[in-house]
Structure 1
Amino acid sequence: MNKYIYVGCLLFISACFGCESDKLDVLNYGTIEGQVLDGESYQPLSGVMISTTPASITLLTDAEGRFSIPKVKEGDIEVNLKRKDYIANSLKVAVYENEVTNMNFLIFKDYNETGNISIYDPVPGNGAVDQHLAITLKWNVEGKKAGVELLYSIYLFESNSTVQNLLSEDVILKEVVTDNLKPNTTYYWYVVAKHEGNRVANSPTWTFKTGEK
């Protein structure tokens, strides 16, 4: 009898641990939807190859440049964009459980004379929370050829907004101050680099969330 009781206890404990393991394995998912536009004309681009890192799905934009990626694991996801005669780009976005991250993406024609420019290292860091309502946005740049001078335009917009506001244009320094932000609001922002009036690169789209004050 004691033998059977002992075996039954082991089975019960094993089942409990199995339940805990199942709970730990639960993943949360969201959706990324958007439209890819030409960085110069702002016209929709069809046939842009879309993939993600970590990998989830690979697809092409439709005739209106739109795409939808369902069931994306919650967290920071890189959206990779490729199209012939355009500079390949990877944009990092934040995905939240049961929410749709909806935004436009810009890609630019390949201007080899400027170098392979990369805009990175945002301040505040991507996904930062509890930010002040007045902050300084900063970034770094690498890969431009010697003697190439860049000017920067910075776009800032609220989560799920269809309007991308131009925060500042033709900035020489790699930083810009913004204030009058709304409390408890998620913002997206990105930087466009220009050389002699031509758009030559854009940053990933970064996000941060403000605090109470």
Structure 2
Amino acid sequence: MNYRNFNLALLLFVTLILSSCEEQLLDIDRFGTITGIVVDGTTYEPLPGVLITTAPASNAVLSDEGGTFQLDKITAGDVLINARKNEYLTGSISVAVYEEENTAVTFFLLEDENNVGDVVLFDPVPGNGAVDQPLSFTLSWNVDQENRGVELDYTVYLFESGSTTQTIVSENLQNREAVISNLKTNTTYFWYVVAKFDGQNVANSPTWTFRTGGG
């Protein structure tokens, strides 16, 4: 190989190495963290031993004696968090995780008293993650149930971001909507619906979120 060909080969090799490094840098995942607390939805007592998982999948953890948990190195983006404990209805919350930031969540789990078959609550209005919502409006949802002959009623819960207590917006509802009012401006709220039969909890919805506007 002459000197000119050697230089060309060396230049090509360096170019390939730099290109490979650039591709690797572009492929580096961006991570954030998720911290949270799980409490009994009736007593507000911390719940230890709750299994916390995510989708996309990450490390599964259990809540500690104080009901708290932490998930590290969560890829930035939309993440579904699930909380499961024996004898409780499973809770789920969809959140946005940002690079090098912490996302805090609260789970209120209610005892599972299911004896009516599968019940699924879905299709919230406003849609999950809605922004610029008014300070008074109507929440609504749909339901799909295995045993359609069972008449369900519904209780709607609402809480602010970061709160470990919640408010009952409406209960013993026969229809699938609830009016909320006197909300705070520029505030993130979470809400979920519990389906009941004969006074017993049979299903709960995912925890949905919306943010109010400036009034």
Kindly indicate whether the alpha-carbon contact (under 8 Å) linking 2:91 and 2:109 is maintained by their aligned counterparts in 1. Answer: no
SS at match of 2:127: coil
User: What is the alpha-carbon root mean square deviation over aligned residues?
Assistant: 2.9
Q: CA deviation at 1:94?
A: 0.6
Task: Give distance in 1, aligned partners of 2:33 and 2:60.
Answer: 14
Kindly indicate whether the alpha-carbon contact (under 8 Å) linking 2:53 and 2:61 is maintained by their aligned counterparts in 1. Answer: yes
Alignment length (residue pairs): 211
> Judging changes above 3 Å, is the alpha-carbon distance between structure 1 residues 41 and 149 closer, same or farther for their aligned structure 2 residues?
farther
Q: CA deviation at 1:111?
A: 2.3
> Judging changes above 3 Å, is the alpha-carbon distance between structure 1 residues 24 and 175 closer, same or farther for their aligned structure 2 residues?
farther
Q: How does 1:118-197 map to 2 (within 5 A)?
A: 118-128=120-130, 130-134=131-135, 135-179=137-181, 181-197=183-199
* Partner deviation per Cα, 1:134-162 (whole Å, 9 max, x = no partner): 54322222235333222222223333234
Which of the two has higher C-alpha Rg?
Answer: 2
Task: Give distance in 2, aligned partners of 1:28 and 1:59.
Answer: 21
Task: State the match for 1:34 in structure 2.
Answer: 36
Q: CA deviation at 1:56?
A: 0.9
SS at match of 2:12: helix
SS at match of 2:115: helix
What are structure 1's unaligned runs of at least 5 residues? Answer: none
What are structure 2's unaligned runs of at least 5 residues? Answer: none
> Judging changes above 3 Å, is the alpha-carbon distance between structure 1 residues 10 and 200 closer, same or farther for their aligned structure 2 residues?
same
* Partner deviation per Cα, 1:74-130 (whole Å, 9 max, x = no partner): 23322233333334x2503213313333333233333232222222222233233x4
SS at match of 1:114: coil
Kindly indicate whether the alpha-carbon contact (under 8 Å) linking 1:40 and 1:199 is maintained by their aligned counterparts in 2. Answer: no
TM-score (norm 1): 0.78
Task: Give distance in 2, aligned partners of 1:182 and 1:38.
Answer: 26
Identical amino acids, percent of aligned pairs? 44
Kindly indicate whether the alpha-carbon contact (under 8 Å) linking 1:45 and 1:61 is maintained by their aligned counterparts in 2. Answer: yes
Task: Give distance in 1, aligned partners of 2:101 and 2:81.
Answer: 17
Answering whether residue 106 of structure 2 is matched by residue 104 of structure 1, we say: yes
> Judging changes above 3 Å, is the alpha-carbon distance between structure 1 residues 159 and 82 closer, same or farther for their aligned structure 2 residues?
closer
TM-score (norm 2): 0.77
